[in-house]
């Protein structure tokens, strides 16, 4: 809301005709993204260098290694053991055995990588 003249203005990228009609009934002015871009360009407020322009691409192994820390070893191990133990008491033990085995393998991989 603009405090100086009491008019309400909405800045948006796109607007449907129904929303534009509703805003018009409530005396709300709608400005689209082109207006904002021109306003920033006119006042020379657009950035000259973008943030992600010079960012280095992170390799696959570094991303995998960052997700497998020693911190997750114990919870993965105990969750896998619990699922293997609970597989004795369920009607469909294959799901529990497979997921528990995957958790134990991921726990061992996390220990080896770090």
Which residues are bridge partners to 8 per DSSP?
28
Same domain, 45 and 80: no
E strand or H helix at 104: helix 93-113
| Domain C-terminal end among 36, 53, 70 | 53
Asked if residue 66 has pLDDT above 80, the reply is: no
| Domain C-terminal end among 12, 33, 53 | 53
Q: Is 19 exposed, middle or buried (0-12, 13-18, 19+ CB in 10 A)?
A: middle
Same domain, 3 and 49: yes
Residue 27 is given by DSSP the state T
Same domain, 5 and 33: yes
Q: How many residues does the chain have?
A: 114
Domain of 33, in residue numbers: 1-53
The count of structural domains within the chain is: 2
Same domain, 36 and 74: no
Same domain, 106 and 66: yes
The predicted pLDDT at position 3 comes to 62
Mean pLDDT of 72-97: 93
Same domain, 46 and 79: no
Mean pLDDT of 35-62: 80
The predicted pLDDT at position 7 comes to 82
Same domain, 46 and 68: no
Same domain, 64 and 82: yes
The pTM of this model reads 0.48
Pull the structure tokens for residue 113: 């990588």
Same domain, 20 and 65: no
Residue at token pair 């129904």? 18
Same domain, 109 and 85: yes
Same domain, 73 and 106: yes
């Amino acid at each position: 809301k603009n405090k100086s003249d009491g008019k309400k203005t909405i800045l948006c990228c796109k607007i449907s005709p129904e929303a534009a009609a509703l805003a018009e009934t409530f005396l709300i002015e709608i400005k689209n993204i082109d207006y904002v871009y021109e306003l920033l360009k006119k006042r020379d407020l657009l950035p000259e260098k973008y943030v992600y322009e010079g960012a280095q691409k992170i390799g696959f192994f570094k991303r995998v290694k960052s997700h497998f820390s020693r911190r997750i070893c114990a919870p993965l191990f105990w969750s896998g053991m619990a699922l293997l133990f609970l597989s004795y008491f369920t009607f469909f033990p294959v799901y529990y055995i497979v997921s528990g085995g995957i958790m134990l393998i991921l726990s061992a991989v996390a220990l080896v990588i770090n």
